[in-house]
Structure 1
Amino acid sequence: MGLNGLLREKVVLVNGGSQGVGAAIARAAVREGAVVAVGARRPGPGEALVAELTAAGGEARYVRADLADAGQAKASVAEVVAAFGRIDCLVNAAGLTSRGTLLDTTPELFDEHIAVNLRGPFFAMQAAVADMLAREAPGTIVNVITSSAHGGQPFLAPYVAAKAGLMGLTRNVAHAHRWDRIRVNGLNIGWTATEGEDATQRAFHGAGDDWQERAAERLPMGRLGRPDEIADFVVLLLSDRSGVVTGSVIDWDQNVLGGLD
């Protein structure tokens, strides 16, 4: 179900766009009239999604974007600008969720999380904002963060460190460029049913085929969040329909921060 062409003729780059929440955002953006670049580390999944989007009548292309590499993060934006003449909207949806506590996290694991979850988005935003400023044009950015950025579980220490940094960075960039009409917002998403989460639950928590059903029993709404729901929210934030909102990091979750039973 569409939202009434909210991104008509916008050029949108979705980094981390080949699966899960990122892929749902790419689909929703095309549905809402955008030209979409799918930024992904691996060509196979990225090109497969592009084929799906173009077969459905949309305009899309694959862009190599391994956000662990700051150069590729910047180059993903440059490729979009070279192909389409501009970038109107950027979504940073890539994420590394491998586990580590304060005591067992190695410097290498910590650096991996900082690279993908913070440094990559930083330099993708740098390149996107530079293009918007050069054209004296407005633009929008949405960073997909996590509700764990508020503190999270003990086994998410390096992930929380990086994503909490991205939460602060989102507000910093929004403040710095509000007079340039560049709006930057973030979503702290809660537990969501994605391919990546399924793999994570099986790899790190010994989950079986019924893990979603068991998880749902512990959640207020009786189910996990869905990528398509998040995608619609992101499209709204990218669009003019969200008005002047900038610097907001919204908790997209069914648990309430600070609420106690």
Structure 2
Amino acid sequence: MGLLDDKVVLVNGGSQGVGAAVARAAVREGAAVAFTGRRPGPGEALAKELTAAGGRAMFVRADLADTAQATSSVAEVVRAHGRVDCLVNAAGLTSRGTLLDTTPELFDQHIAVNLRAPFFAMQAAVADMVRREAPGTIVNIITSSAHGGQPFLAPYVAAKAGLMGLTRNAAHAHRWDRIRINGLNIGWTATEGEDATQRTFHGAGDDWRERAAARLPMGRLGQPDEIADFVVFLLSDRSGVVTGSVIDWDQNVLGGLD
């Protein structure tokens, strides 16, 4: 018996990084998984990998910055499987900007991907659950930077802090529908996207992971598969009645000072 046996799971931003790790973990735990991504190459390769291993997986090409595509991805999964039981919002834009140099265009890009897309994907998924009078679970991948973050993350923090509040608001609104909604504020994680970000915005070399790990309490960055296991737990019945929780999944302690 898997933790997600016979569940239908949609992972937004699931073709790489944390989202791909969640898709793999959900398939391993018995779910039928759909996941979105902008690029067909990685998405179709992951779907082929999961299907070849005996899983049930489908790739839905979608640019989540487009609200219509964010909501239609839910509709496509409902057409294919008849329902959505679990939703994971794992897509994220991490391009840099400070309060002083962020343009309206950059700000809007962050809002579109990091806040608006999860909002309307949740709207569509919850509407399906309410229509069927069925319970469901949602996990939003947020960031520990939502508590404040670095100066160069101003638009990212603004959007992700909004997602943190939205997670709690939606959980409260739909607790009587038996829809549980939680979030993870993840810390520094070794993903393909983070590698590109470090190289593009910070001039990092091939040894950036080792250099970063040396500055962290546990001596290493977080790993996507570790986060994925936690997400699967929150999606599953094993997490009980927990809803409205935004958990700091990090090795630095909020409020702790040296």
Q: What's the TM-score bracket when you normalise by the shorter of the two chains?
A: over 0.9
Distance, in Å, in 1 between the alignment partners of 2:63 and 2:34 is 14
Look up the equivalent residue of 1:128 and give its one-letter code.
A
Aligned to 1:157: 154
Task: For residue 181 of structure 2, give the secondary structure of its aligned residue in structure 1.
Answer: strand
- Post-superposition Cα deviations, 1:120-147, rounded to whole Å, max 9, x if no partner, equal 0000000000000000000000000000
* Divergent runs of 4+, >2 A: none
Map of 1:5-154 to 2, 5 A cutoff?
5-154=2-151
Distance, in Å, in 2 between the alignment partners of 1:66 and 1:173 is 23
Aligned to 2:188: 191
RMSD (CA atoms): 0.5
Task: For residue 141 of structure 1, give the secondary structure of its aligned residue in structure 2.
Answer: strand
Distance, in Å, in 2 between the alignment partners of 1:33 and 1:53 is 12
| TM-score normalised by structure 2 residue count | 0.99
In structure 1, list runs of 5 or more residues that go unmatched: none
Give the length in aligned residue pairs: 258
Map of 1:144-223 to 2, 5 A cutoff?
144-223=141-220
Task: For residue 103 of structure 1, give the secondary structure of its aligned residue in structure 2.
Answer: coil
Distance, in Å, in 2 between the alignment partners of 1:244 and 1:70 is 30
Distance, in Å, in 1 between the alignment partners of 2:139 and 2:219 is 27
Look up the equivalent residue of 1:77 and give its one-letter code.
V
Distance, in Å, in 1 between the alignment partners of 2:5 and 2:116 is 30
Aligned to 1:232: 229
**Alpha-carbon distance, 1:186 to partner:** 0.2
Distance, in Å, in 2 between the alignment partners of 1:60 and 1:256 is 37
**Alpha-carbon distance, 1:65 to partner:** 2.3
Distance, in Å, in 1 between the alignment partners of 2:44 and 2:134 is 30
**Alpha-carbon distance, 1:38 to partner:** 1.3
Task: For residue 204 of structure 2, give the secondary structure of its aligned residue in structure 1.
Answer: coil
